[in-house]
Amino acid sequence: MGDVRKKEKKLLEEALKALKNAYVLWGFGVGASVLAQDGKVYSGCNVESWISGLGICAERCAIHHAVLHGNKKIREIAVVADAKNKSEIKPCGACLQYIADFAETPEIKIVTAKADGDKILFETVKVKMLKEMLPEPFRK
Ligand SMILES: [Zn+2]
């Protein structure tokens, strides 16, 4: 995927900055950034705990950051993982539901990429729509 648009590149770069602060005990570092309804970018990183499931993924951390600043909707999300040996980078099911809860539309983009140290591996960038990844989110 050589044709990463400027907006996606900016989001990925912000996610990479957040990744550097990831608190990793047993997994791998992840950074995420969301473009929120106010037009600003908010980032988050994963924060692990020794108790599996108690920490938080980067995606939900970034969404909390956007909410903290008064946003209720997001327009796009990028995720960068320091996991060049993993087969695929994608949000977990809990995060997909969370993204759906805060997405402006089911058509928002989820941009993922692997990182190697200080650089994004642009050849690993994937862009998918939320509705492709979670076609039937939970709704009350
Ligand atoms: Zn997750």
Of the residues 59, 76, 107, 136, only one is catalytic, namely: 59
The CATH number that applies at residue 29 is 3.40.140.10
Kindly state whether residue 138 falls inside one of the protein's structural domains.
no
Beta bridge partners of 30: 81
Confidence of residue 3 (pLDDT cuts 50, 70, 90): low
Kindly state whether residue 140 falls inside one of the protein's structural domains.
no
Q: Is 59 a catalytic residue?
A: yes
Kindly state whether residue 91 falls inside one of the protein's structural domains.
yes
| Domain carrying residue 126 | 6-133
Kindly state whether residue 1 falls inside one of the protein's structural domains.
no
Beta bridge partners of 80: 31, 113
Query: How much distance in Å is there from the Cα of 59 to the middle of ligand 1?
Result: 6
Kindly state whether residue 80 falls inside one of the protein's structural domains.
yes
Give the pLDDT confidence score for residue 1 in this predicted structure. 47
Residue type for position 48: E
Kindly state whether residue 44 falls inside one of the protein's structural domains.
yes
CA-nearest of 91, 136, 93 to 110 is: 91
Sheet holding 74-81, edge to edge: 41-45, 30-36, 74-81, 109-116, 119-129
Total domains present in the chain: 1
Task: Note the pLDDT tens digit of each residue in 47-78.
Answer: 999 998 899 999 999 999 999 999 999 999 99
Task: Note the pLDDT tens digit of each residue in 83-132.
Answer: 877 888 999 999 999 999 999 999 999 999 999 989 999 999 999 999 99
Query: How much distance in Å is there from the Cα of 2 to the middle of ligand 1?
Result: 26
Query: How much distance in Å is there from the Cα of 28 to the middle of ligand 1?
Result: 12
Kindly state whether residue 46 falls inside one of the protein's structural domains.
yes
Q: 0.85 exceeded by the pTM?
A: yes
Per-residue pLDDT at 44 exceeds 90: yes
* C-beta of residue 33 within 8 angstroms of C-beta of residue 41: yes
